[in-house]
Amino acid sequence: MARIYLDNNATTPVRQEVAEAVAGMLKGCYGNPSTLYCIGQEAHVSLEHARDVMAGVLGANRDEIIFTSGGTESDNIAVFGVARAMRKKGNHIITTKFEHHAVLNPCKALEKDGWSVTYLPVGPEGVVEPSDVERAITDKTVLISIMHANNEVGTVQPIAEIGKIAKARKITFHTDAVQSFAKLPIKVDEMGIDLLSASSHKIYGPKGVGLLYVRKGTKIMPIMYGGHQERSLRPGTENVPGIVGFGKATELMDAEREAEEARLVGMRDRLWEELSKKIPHIKLHGHPTKRLAGTLNIGFEFVEGESLILRLDEYGICVASGSACTSDALEPSHVLSALGIPPEGSHGALRFSLGRENTESDVDKLIEVLPKVVDDLRSFSPLYKEYLRNQKAAAG
Ligand code: PLP
């Protein structure tokens, strides 16, 4: 059975050109990039080429790019690294309630160490209000960390406006751009970003590689100690094949970004239009337009997200209920809760995230299968039966 993969916010298939670039490095370029002889220097040249690609895409300088093991590590270095460097100046951090756990959990750990953290609310459409950020600033605030695009509902935050506020108040501004890097235009200077996290496996690159952009002059300390690699902020011999793959994936994404965005928006919106015509009692979660091109999060009343996932899997269709990292936990999604969606709404939510391998025929298949699956599951739901009885009684 042909698989239809619609979970590209969880991870993406490695594209062919990237796999070839990684394999080329694994087979032919094993040198340690910190060594001086030619085998090491070959690896160094490849590493620095990838750094140049990243700097170019972000409008940054090459020495402001730090390679890491992925988005989680980049977020941890940003939060703990600034906290350690700025402790004498203040002990207050501003973030949001719907960040990824890679930001939320470091903040929670800091609270246990006496830090104070403001978790800003987001509006019902999943967008942070810049005036809320401004109001939350105190003379102890040393870091603002607000994600660019949300992984579950795809909403895109007004990063440039928040960056302006942070700059005016001389506060370090970090954005988790794991879901938006190379998908949305990002220029760190124009958006007032001091620190930015990105991850390779969300853009058809290998897993276990990421980057942290660190603006020159930002006060930040390492969270791990060792050699002098990556300006001593991330010591350890670099994962050169992975970084080369990440560089290749970024180059390719950047070249096709606009055309791909338009294609994904077309498929995403057609999917929503058709499903909302064919399935009653469903709701779009997040903002109707300020959203990642491929992300569609829908709440289905009277069904469980997990049952939908398993039934769709029988048809070869892979989708997610919440963020992949929490799909085995039974608590409602913290992102949907932050949008004011009650636990029962959260339990019936599905996230479809389309990517470059999806085609219109994948969308057709989902439009054909999903209404049947929902109908079938609802026929077993006592709540749905009760709803129908009440409707009938009300109609006389
Ligand atoms: N931040 C966001 C917004 C994410 O979506 C993810 C992964 O899902 C991460 C951070 C963690 O990235 P990684 O899997 O590279 O550690």
273-283 residue pLDDT tens: 999 999 999 99
Given a contact cutoff of 8 angstroms between Cβ atoms, the answer to whether 50 and 36 are in contact is no
Is 90 exceeded by the pLDDT of residue 326? no
Mean pLDDT, to the nearest integer, of 52-78?
A: 98
Question: pLDDT band at residue 346, thresholds of 50, 70 and 90?
Answer: confident
Give pLDDT, residue 80: 98
Question: pLDDT band at residue 63, thresholds of 50, 70 and 90?
Answer: very high
Which of 7, 104, 184, 199 is the pocket-test mutation for ligand 1 (most atoms within 8 Å of CB)? 199
Largest CA-CA distance found in the chain, in angstroms, rounded:
88
Atom of ligand 1 nearest to the CA of 324: 8
Question: pLDDT band at residue 325, thresholds of 50, 70 and 90?
Answer: very low
Class of domain 16-253: alpha beta
Amino acid at position 74, single letter: S
Mean pLDDT of the chain: 96
Mean pLDDT, to the nearest integer, of 83-112?
A: 98
Q: Report CA(32)–ligand 1 centroid distance (Å).
A: 28
What are φ and ψ of residue 196, in 5° steps? -145, 130
Atom of ligand 1 nearest to the CA of 151: 5
Is 80 exceeded by the pLDDT of residue 311? yes
The set of residues, in sequence order, having a beta carbon less than 8 Å from that of 3 and lying 6+ positions away, is 316, 317, 318
Residues in the ligand 1 pocket, defined by CB under 6 Å: 70-72, 75, 100, 102, 147, 151, 176, 178-179, 199, 201, 210
Which of 96, 179, 195, 351 is the pocket-test mutation for ligand 1 (most atoms within 8 Å of CB)? 179
Atom of ligand 1 nearest to the CA of 200: 15
Atom of ligand 1 nearest to the CA of 74: 16
Helical spans, DSSP H, in the chain: 16-28, 38-58, 71-86, 101-112, 130-136, 159-168, 240-278, 305-314, 334-338, 343-347, 360-378, 382-394
Given a contact cutoff of 8 angstroms between Cβ atoms, the answer to whether 55 and 61 are in contact is yes
Nearest CA to ligand 1 atom 5: 151
> Which token pair is 71?
């988005």
Which of 67, 72, 209 is the pocket-test mutation for ligand 1 (most atoms within 8 Å of CB)? 72
Nearest CA to ligand 1 atom 14: 71
Is 80 exceeded by the pLDDT of residue 328? no
Q: Report CA(77)–ligand 1 centroid distance (Å).
A: 14
For the chain, the C-alpha Rg in angstroms (whole number) is 22
Q: Report CA(119)–ligand 1 centroid distance (Å).
A: 19
What burial letters (b/e) apply to 155-193, b meaning 16+ CB within 10 Å? bbbbbebbbbbbeeeebbbbbbbbbbbbbbebebeebbb
Share of the chain above pLDDT 90, in %: 94
> Which token pair is 78?
């940003």
Angle (CA) 26-30-34 rounded to 5° is 135
Given a contact cutoff of 8 angstroms between Cβ atoms, the answer to whether 217 and 82 are in contact is no
Q: Report CA(380)–ligand 1 centroid distance (Å).
A: 36
Give pLDDT, residue 331: 81
Give pLDDT, residue 160: 98
Q: How is residue 37 annotated by DSSP?
A: S
pTM for the model stands at 0.96
| CA distance to 156, 199, 323, per residue, from 11 (Å) | 19, 10, 11
Give pLDDT, residue 367: 98
Is 70 exceeded by the pLDDT of residue 175? yes
As annotated, the active-site residues are 325
Mean pLDDT, to the nearest integer, of 30-49?
A: 97
What is the rounded CA–CA span in Å between residue 52 and residue 72? 22
> Which token pair is 263?
């294609």
Query: Between 3.90.1150.10, 3.40.50.620, 3.20.20.150, 3.30.1490.20, what CATH number should domain 4-9+257-395 receive?
Result: 3.90.1150.10
Is 50 exceeded by the pLDDT of residue 69? yes
| CA distance to 11, 63, 322, per residue, from 325 (Å) | 11, 32, 8
Q: pLDDT tens digits, residue range 204-261?
A: 999 999 999 999 999 999 999 999 999 999 999 999 999 999 999 999 999 999 999 9
Question: pLDDT band at residue 323, thresholds of 50, 70 and 90?
Answer: very low
Which of 79, 95, 100 is the pocket-test mutation for ligand 1 (most atoms within 8 Å of CB)? 100
Q: Report CA(105)–ligand 1 centroid distance (Å).
A: 13
Work out the angle between the directed axes of helices 360-378 and 240-278 (0-180°, nearest 10).
60
Q: pLDDT tens digits, residue range 348-383?
A: 999 999 999 999 999 999 999 999 999 999 999 999
Q: Report CA(396)–ligand 1 centroid distance (Å).
A: 52
Is 70 exceeded by the pLDDT of residue 322? no
Q: How far is Cα of residue 131 from the mean position of the Cα atoms in its chain?
A: 24
The set of residues, in sequence order, having a beta carbon less than 8 Å from that of 345 and lying 6+ positions away, is 283, 299, 301, 336
Given a contact cutoff of 8 angstroms between Cβ atoms, the answer to whether 219 and 172 are in contact is yes
Given a contact cutoff of 8 angstroms between Cβ atoms, the answer to whether 209 and 239 are in contact is yes
The reply to whether 16-253 shares the fold of 4-9+257-395 is: no
Strand 141-145 and strand 172-176: pairing? parallel
Q: Report CA(101)–ligand 1 centroid distance (Å).
A: 8
What are φ and ψ of residue 190, in 5° steps? -65, -30
Is 70 exceeded by the pLDDT of residue 43? yes
Is 50 exceeded by the pLDDT of residue 176? yes
Domain locations along the chain: 4-9+257-395, 16-253
Task: Give the chain's length.
Answer: 396
Strand 4-5 and strand 65-68: pairing? unpaired
